[in-house]
């Protein structure tokens, strides 16, 4: 076992918060601006507080990732006690976190190996990669092997979100005006999936019960699961999340599906009324094809 240090941005949501006390992990806060007021995520305001403030905001919040200087300072602190650093970042398609981390790593690369990994995801998916990195810390003394293990997990991560409010999607141009207008007229709501690090509208349904069915189908398409979670937009269990847990209990007996609140950084992108599932497929079982 070695003591690689893990650094990530606050776009990550851990499925197991105890990891923060068990392993050398540093979280750098994103800055989220809501109605002209800027908050450091997890420091000036909790996730729940930020999501509540976003609800009803006239425009989507602005997300500012840690700066190159903030990454440089974090890397320098970690390098004093660790032989190498795994730096995990929100998808470069959604954030400048990876680019800023790469710039910062240049200042220390001669004295401490730093691997900047684009997670191609956000929120719970990024948190799952943090967990994978802690596993690598336990089993290998070789930094390059640990990096490859985490990079391999990036290709096994899949997410699907059902979004009830279209405002943020339209204003962020995730959903075009014509599609948003058609959805509003017909009463259908979109699903978003993560594809090559981008949030893509993939399909639509009319009712919440149809949304639950589609999310269950999505998870059932994987041969074997390494990690899974349900994401919801409220800190207390929603009706949709409860329905999902009940269905998963039947279809996947003995498997735990934790229900986690939507991270503030994700909510700032897709809105505060969303339900989703995140899957880390077990290693060696091939790649999910959403067209099958």
Cα–Cα distances in angstroms (integers) from residue 133 to residues 75, 107, 141, 223, 246, in the given order: 17, 23, 13, 23, 31
pLDDT at residue 291 above 50?
A: no
State residue 276's pLDDT score. Answer: 95
Question: CATH top-level class for 157-281?
Answer: alpha beta
> Domain 5-30+65-154, CATH 1.10.3430.10 — does that match?
no
- Sort strands 274-281 and 157-163 into parallel, antiparallel or unpaired: antiparallel
CATH 3.40.50.10440 domain position(s) in the chain = 5-30+65-154
- pLDDT over 90 percentage in the chain: 63
Q: What gap in Å lies between CA 178 and CA 193, rounded to an integer? A: 20
pLDDT at residue 287 above 60?
A: no
Cα of first residue to Cα of last residue in the chain, in angstroms, is 41
pLDDT at residue 251 above 80?
A: yes
Name residue, tokens 């640990």. 146
263 in Cβ contact with 122 (< 8 Å): yes
| Position with higher pLDDT, 141 vs 5 | 5
Q: What is the mean pLDDT of residues 242-264?
A: 91
189 closest CA partner among 122, 259, 274? 274
State residue 78's pLDDT score. Answer: 95
Q: What gap in Å lies between CA 278 and CA 161, rounded to an integer? A: 9
CATH 3.30.1180.10 domain position(s) in the chain = 157-281
Q: What is the mean pLDDT of residues 108-119?
A: 93
Name residue, tokens 């690689």. 4
263 in Cβ contact with 48 (< 8 Å): no
Q: What is the mean pLDDT of residues 51-68?
A: 90
pLDDT at residue 35 above 70?
A: yes
Helices (H), the chain: 19-22, 47-54, 68-79, 97-105, 124-139, 143-154, 167-171, 177-186, 208-220, 239-251, 264-270
Phi, psi of 177 (to 5 degrees): -60, -40
The residue length of the chain stands at 292
| Position with higher pLDDT, 89 vs 189 | 89
State residue 184's pLDDT score. Answer: 66
State residue 146's pLDDT score. Answer: 93
State residue 181's pLDDT score. Answer: 64
pLDDT at residue 1 above 60?
A: no
Sequence-distant (6+) residues with CB within 8 A of 287 are: 155, 156, 281
276 in Cβ contact with 231 (< 8 Å): yes
Q: What gap in Å lies between CA 65 and CA 100, rounded to an integer? A: 8
Q: What gap in Å lies between CA 90 and CA 265, rounded to an integer? A: 10
Q: What gap in Å lies between CA 73 and CA 87, rounded to an integer? A: 13
């Amino acid at each position: 076992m070695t003591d690689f240090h893990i650094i990530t941005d606050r776009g990550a949501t851990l499925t197991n918060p105890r990891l923060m006390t068990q392993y050398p992990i540093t979280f750098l806060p994103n800055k989220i601006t809501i109605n002209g007021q800027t908050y450091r995520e997890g420091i000036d305001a909790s996730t729940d507080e930020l999501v509540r403030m976003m609800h009803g905001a006239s425009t989507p919040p602005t997300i500012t990732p840690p700066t190159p200087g903030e990454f440089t300072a974090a890397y320098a602190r970690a390098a004093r006690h660790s032989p190498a650093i795994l730096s995990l970042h929100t998808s470069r398609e959604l954030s400048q976190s990876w680019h800023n981390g790469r710039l910062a790593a240049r200042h220390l690369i001669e004295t401490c190996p730093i691997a900047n990994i684009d997670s191609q995801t956000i929120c719970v998916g990024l948190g799952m990669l943090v967990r994978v990195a802690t596993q690598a810390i336990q089993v290998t003394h070789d930094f390059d092997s640990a990096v490859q293990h985490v990079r391999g997990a990036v290709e096994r991560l899949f997410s699907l979100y059902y979004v009830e409010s279209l405002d943020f999607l339209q204003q962020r141009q995730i959903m075009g005006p014509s599609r948003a207008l058609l959805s509003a007229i017909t009463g259908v709501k979109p699903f978003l999936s993560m594809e090559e690090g981008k949030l893509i509208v993939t399909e639509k349904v009319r009712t919440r019960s149809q949304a639950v069915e589609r999310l269950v189908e999505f998870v059932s398409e994987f041969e074997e699961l390494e990690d899974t979670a349900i994401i919801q937009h409220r800190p207390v269990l929603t009706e949709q999340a409860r329905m999902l847990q009940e269905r998963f209990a039947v279809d996947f007996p003995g498997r735990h599906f934790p229900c986690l609140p939507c991270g503030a950084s994700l909510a700032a992108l897709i809105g505060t009324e969303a339900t989703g599932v995140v899957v880390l497929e077990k290693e060696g079982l091939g790649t999910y094809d959403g067209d099958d």
